[in-house]
Structure 1
């Protein structure tokens, strides 16, 4: 097994999930997110022409943020993301082969899990951080119970059913990493709308975590 790639020291541990974004709009939308200080951008592979979108934004913003893909389900797709310039691999599940491929390509990994078994397997497989999904179903209480059996240094993220309105609830259990999807971007949203959503999320995060 290759050595795990360490989760970056982001000022704000927020991953923007742009599910459904199109190549002809992605540069403006990601530009708006980066202007609001987002440092991690995910284009799910079930979006239209996702590899093209990743290539566009990696070329434009790859020095300013971790650009990558979500819903990565195979080693082949993982390699394609890396070839397109992606540095972030997010998945809805724990597939040791996919995590291994991403690590070999130097990518930060955020595999999805829901149980202690899956979380510990992900860590053994070299995950940079853990994506508890759908976190809204677990809730802070459920996630807190699972965190109790994980290594203290494990980076735990909440994705699915979370927004800036729930940061404070997860902060109480020591979670400061979040993936934001529909609260940030929905298909059809323009760059101005996304920027307003991003600003609101950043302000809420800073209020809770004193990141500013």
Structure 2
């Protein structure tokens, strides 16, 4: 599977611990998720990323979020991570990740940051936090981006506001608190995972058919 063909829905497992990552990872993979992120400020994130990459890395893009340094890029690559998601736009971090073949989704919130990220090689743009970047703002910024730019909203995204962001030009999302929170039961996590991906697919299909 090429990177461009991954379903642009990033499952963000902030706070996950190694002992639960494989069982929850299996739920995500079975539900159809193809991008899984373990933020670097989670407990022992590299251990979780390594376990997920070994188990699901052949078919799913596994990696880290909250990546803020070139050194972290090296650490993530060393354990098999191939996805780099950042909260900010740092050209050095983006270039370092692209040099080792990672899929890069840096965070931005202004036109300047968005264009800097793309110039550095970003594969997709993460408008974060979405609470501070409402659909109207993303729609306006999207008009100056190169055609075909994958724009994703991250931060406060739920099944209830996906449609508004998609109408503004978002074609992908990062799902955090609406998907996973530390201590969540397996049943609740499974429900969240299935509800969110079904909502995304139901909104995406008509637009794809009209293209």
Q: Secondary structure at the match of 1:8?
A: helix
Give the superposed CA RMSD. Answer: 1.5
The residue number in structure 1 matching 2:18 is: 23
Question: TM-score, normalising length from structure 1?
Answer: 0.93
Q: Secondary structure at the match of 1:60?
A: helix
The residue number in structure 1 matching 2:73 is: 78
The residue number in structure 1 matching 2:62 is: 67
The residue number in structure 1 matching 2:140 is: 145
Mapped to 2, the partners of 1:174 and 1:77 lie a distance apart of: 31
Question: TM-score, normalising length from structure 2?
Answer: 0.94
Mapped to 2, the partners of 1:25 and 1:79 lie a distance apart of: 25
The residue number in structure 1 matching 2:125 is: 130
Q: Is the 8 A contact 2:12 2:174 kept in 1?
A: yes
**From 81, 93, 113, the counterpart of 1:98:** 93
Q: Secondary structure at the match of 1:43?
A: strand
Pairs within 5 Å for 1:1-212? 8-10=4-6, 12-210=7-205
* Partner deviation per Cα, 1:111-158 (whole Å, 9 max, x = no partner): 000000000000011101100001122111011011111111211110
Relative contact order (C-alpha < 8 Å, sep 6+): which is higher?
1
Structure 2: segments with no counterpart, 5+ residues: none
Q: Cα offset for 1:173?
A: 2.0
Q: Cα offset for 1:16?
A: 0.4
When structure 1 is superposed on structure 2, of 139-148 and 167-176 the one drifting more is 167-176
Q: Is the 8 A contact 1:91 1:112 kept in 2?
A: yes
Structure 1: segments with no counterpart, 5+ residues: 1-5
